[in-house]
Structure 1
Amino acid sequence: MLENFSNPTDRFGFGESLPQQIAKQILKKIIEGELKAGDRILEDEISKELNTSRAPVREALYLLQVDGIVERIPRRGTVVKSFTHLDIVEYNDAMIGLIQAAVEFSKQKWQEEQIKNLHDYLVKATYECEQKNVINYQLIAEQLFRYLFIVAENKALLRFYEEAGHILRVFAQSQWNEKTMESFHKELSYFCEAIINSQFNEAKTAIFNTLKLGVK
């Protein structure tokens, strides 16, 4: 079920419009498998489920279309987009470049507090890996990567990261297993240790190896 927006005070999150919140709710359904590749997304059904008008739903679907999550097909309407393996590889390669750029921009900004926060994310990821919680692990890893862009203080890179991240998140939710997670975490640990030790070139190599494992 989608979150109900019948209460006007719940319509807006901090810094987010109603269409942006609706887009996130639809994306959540896709990630959790309620909506699969090729499924139609009906504006009427979404608006009734959210107790809102069709206009913000239509805009939310446009936002998802811009991000490449859904597509409009003649005589079918809006459907969840299907991705080929090549599509995923291309998005993954873009993500590698974005994170490597974030590493470069963040070089001079890793102080004691930032290093501690990165270490804390790694500890949380390690715990979820040990508990074999694949979904929770993916969420923590995503938060860890997003933190790099916060440290880098580059809003443009963060925006591009979030757009590519939508696609890769959907892929990972459906394709990863415990073995994938364990291999990924080993490389992720190398990446974090390199950052913590100010070995930024090594970190760039490690993130290449880390993300390549995620789409095998």
Structure 2
Amino acid sequence: MDQIFQKIESTDLRPIREIVFERLRKAIMNGTFQSGDRLVETSIAEGMGVSRTPVREAFRQLEIEGLAENLPRRGTIVKGISKTDILEIYEIREVLEGLVFRLACTNISKVEISDLKEKISKMEQSIDNNDIKEYWRLHGEFHDIILYLSKNNRLIDQMKQIYEYLSKLRNFTLVMNKRRNAAMEEHEALVKAFEKRDEILAEQIGREHTINAKKFLSKEIHLF
């Protein structure tokens, strides 16, 4: 927990409550704080070198996100991430990512299609080399290219939040490594839909991509 209680640097110009919230949120997602743990306002405030006010504000935000709850005589308790939470996120992602792929299909150029093909080729190489870290770096770049091609700022913000949320879950990457080969086939099918300028097919592939991941996760969710 040392990283949670480091002093907030004076060079970080973001609002204090935002920094405190981000650190606590990350600690819950990566398993530093477990479900049932009590968040002690004074300890966190002293550790980060801040007043108790931004810590209380961060606690309220955690409650809004469903990551913590305030219980009588117990204080703020970590709820953690449940199987239901993860599957609900995937239900939302299915709809939004399908929309991302449809919009991207209308905006994509031949150069960008070539970029996506290159990313797929490099991902395949990383799989052959068993370079998991490189695979996930390229995977992120692949999806970022498509996301920004949607040219819908609100949609981009929503999807970035979902991607970040999932990437920080303890064991998420470990579990999804088992689905890499199937995911690669879906990536290739998506690029073919882009080449055909078939936005309906692109959206369908996007939704199926997420549905397949959700089905896989529902079987592996005990690892979280």
**TM-score, normalised to structure 2's length?**
0.72
SS at 1:78 equivalent: strand
Task: Return the offset for 1:158.
Answer: 3.2
Aligned length: 208
Which consecutive unaligned segments of at least 5 residues does structure 2 have? Answer: 195-200, 220-224
> Does the residue aligned with 2:11 lie in a helix, a strand or coil?
helix
Which residue number in structure 1 is paired with residue 197 of structure 2? none
SS of 1:10's equivalent in the other structure is coil
Partner of 1:74: 72
Quick one: which of 68, 74, 99 aligns to 1:101?
A: 99
1:145-174 Cα distance to aligned partner (Å, 9 max, x none): 455332212233234334545654455x24
What is the one-letter code of the residue matched to 1:40? R
- Mapped partners of 1:26, 1:103: distance in 2: 33
More displaced, 55-64 or 120-129? 120-129
Shift in Å, 1:109: 1.9
The Cα RMSD (Å) is 3.4
For 2:209, the aligned partner's letter is A
Query: SS at the partner of 1:206?
Result: helix
TM-score, structure 1 normalization: 0.74
* CA contact 1:129–1:182 (8 Å) conserved in 2: no
Matches within 5 A, 1:1-216: 1-2=3-4, 4-12=6-14, 17-112=15-110, 114-115=112-113, 118-119=116-117, 122=120, 123=122, 127=126, 131=130, 133=132, 141=139, 144-165=142-163, 168-169=166-167, 171=169, 173-174=170-171, 177=174, 180-183=176-179, 185-197=180-192, 198=194, 200-201=202-203, 203-204=205-206, 205-216=208-219
User: Which structure would you say has the larger Rg?
Assistant: 2
